[in-house]
């Protein structure tokens, strides 16, 4: 196996470092294509979330791409400035990390649900640009499956864990009651809608921005009013609570414009749930602004962790890791299986060719019948051969297929 990843996340890097390596979906598409072309990798997937960016590669055994170099080159930054913030993992260590990440065990908020969707979307994006090879496809699918199993069988923490919930808890430290609080949410993505729904349920008066130049159907949370993005500073002037959560590579709320919009106004709470950050961090210097960003959400204290649940999750991951390793090792026998299947199907057809010729069939009917027969035979034989993976000890696979090959030939 030659699978590896390099990642930068909240555990090792503050948001000002993480945001340098954030990718929008369009940027990730271009980057994955570039990695495949430049380094000759067989597969590439990029995970980019608020708390982490990870570059995943599947390579030939003779290749050894420097992933930190590759990421720094993609972002046109100096390796020496950022390499200490990265962690590089290979093979089993990398797969274990992916499984733990997908189920929320490595999230800033333990057990949060959004990361599973983000891992799935990362694979889907790579698949859409044909950079997810068979190995990464299986690796990510197995990690997602293990995470789903953990989600249904294990409660990692008694805390209702999600970034939206944690942000709401921070907001309520400032506004214990949100009833009637004028709120502006910049961004109508999944997270923006989630936060909007929670705030509306608590009685806040919520407005959400939309951009004119985008086309398509928007899902506006019930109880929210839509405003054009260009009018956001007008709304900042009146709102007591301002939240920004977009995938924009630029600030959605700039310092000078915020100064002008909030001059002479009472204290306001700004919440930035984006990476890269949406709100110019120097806004925090303003006397009437309290700014919260992703790093302010914090990690659940250690006594909140359910050690028994974590041990159960690890056992589930261990099972899926074993399955993946078995699948990977068995791949080496696929060409042999295909050869045996083809030869055996031909022999089956040869044994009944005379009987087929005696049937009262048109040429078209005979061709269709032969095609169907070959297909059924190959599927049946292939199914039996692949069943060997689960019915024969791994160390006996080689001898088993060697002997089968001799018999059919």
State the pLDDT confidence band at 409, using cuts at 50, 70 and 90.
low
- State both tokens at 80: 């020496």
The answer to whether residues 258 and 280 touch, using CB atoms and an 8 Å cutoff, is yes
pLDDT of res. 217: 54
Instruction: List pLDDT tens digits, range 313-326.
Output: 999 999 999 999 98
- What's the confidence (pLDDT) of residue 218? 64
Report which DSSP code applies to 32. Answer: H
Percent of the chain having pLDDT more than 90? 56
Residue 303 has pLDDT above 50, yes or no: no
Q: What percent of the chain has pLDDT over 70?
A: 92
Mean pLDDT in the chain? Answer: 87
Sheet holding 3-9, edge to edge: 43-48, 52-58, 3-9, 87-90
**Residue 162 pLDDT > 90, yes or no?**
no
Using alpha carbons, select from 259, 195, 186 the residue that is nearest to residue 223: 195
Of 44, 50, 72, 224, the active-site residue reads 50
Q: Which residues contact 72 (CB under 8 A, 6 or more apart)?
A: 78, 79, 82, 83
Among 164, 52, 168, which Cα is nearest to 106's?
52
Q: Give me the mean pLDDT over the 354-367 stretch.
A: 76
Residue 215 has pLDDT above 50, yes or no: no
Catalogue all structural domains in the chain, each as residue range(s) with its CATH number: 3-159+305-328 (3.30.460.30), 163-296 (3.40.50.720)
24-33, 54-63, 156-165, 336-345: segment of lowest average pLDDT? 156-165
Q: pLDDT-based confidence at 269, cuts 50/70/90? A: very high
Any catalytic annotation for residue 63?
Answer: no
């Amino acid at each position: 196996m030659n699978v590896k990843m390099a990642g930068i996340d909240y555990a090792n890097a503050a948001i000002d470092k993480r945001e340098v390596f954030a990718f929008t979906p369009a940027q990730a598409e271009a980057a994955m294509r570039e990695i495949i072309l430049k380094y000759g990798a067989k597969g590439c997937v990029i995970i980019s979330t608020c708390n982490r960016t990870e570059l995943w590669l599947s390579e030939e055994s003779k290749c050894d791409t420097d992933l930190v170099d590759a990421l720094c080159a993609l972002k046109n930054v100096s390796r020496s400035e950022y390499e200490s913030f990265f962690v590089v993992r290979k093979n089993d260590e990398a797969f274990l990390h992916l499984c733990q990440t997908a189920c929320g065990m490595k999230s800033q908020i333990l057990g949060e649900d959004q990361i599973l969707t983000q891992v799935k979307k990362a694979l889907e994006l790579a698949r859409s640009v044909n950079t997810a090879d068979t190995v990464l496809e299986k690796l990510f699918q197995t990690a997602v499956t293990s995470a789903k199993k953990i989600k249904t069988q294990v409660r990692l923490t008694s805390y209702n864990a999600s970034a939206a919930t944690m942000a709401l808890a921070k907001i309520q430290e400032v506004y214990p009651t949100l009833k009637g609080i004028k709120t502006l949410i910049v961004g109508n993505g999944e997270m923006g809608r989630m936060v909007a729904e929670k705030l509306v349920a608590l009685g806040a008066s919520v407005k959400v921005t939309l951009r004119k130049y985008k086309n398509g159907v928007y899902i506006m949370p019930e109880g929210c009013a839509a405003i054009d993005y260009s009018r956001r500073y007008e709304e900042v002037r009146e709102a007591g609570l301002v939240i920004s959560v977009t995938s924009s590579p630029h600030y959605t709320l700039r310092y000078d414009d915020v100064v002008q919009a909030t001059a002479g106004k009472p204290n306001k709470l700004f919440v930035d749930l984006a990476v890269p950050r949406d709100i110019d961090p120097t806004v925090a210097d303003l006397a009437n602004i309290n700014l919260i960003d992703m790093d302010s959400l914090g990690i659940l204290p250690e006594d909140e962790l359910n050690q028994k649940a974590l041990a159960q999750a690890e056992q589930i991951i261990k099972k899926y890791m074993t399955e993946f390793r078995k699948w990977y090792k068995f791949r080496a026998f696929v060409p042999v299986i295909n050869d045996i299947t083809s030869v055996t199907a031909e022999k089956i057809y040869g044994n009944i060719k005379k009987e087929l010729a005696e049937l009262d069939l048109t040429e078209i009917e005979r061709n269709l019948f032969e095609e169907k027969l070959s297909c059924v035979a190959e599927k049946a034989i292939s199914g039996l051969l692949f069943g060997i993976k689960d019915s024969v000890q791994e160390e006996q696979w080689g001898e088993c297929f060697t002997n089968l090959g001799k018999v059919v030939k």
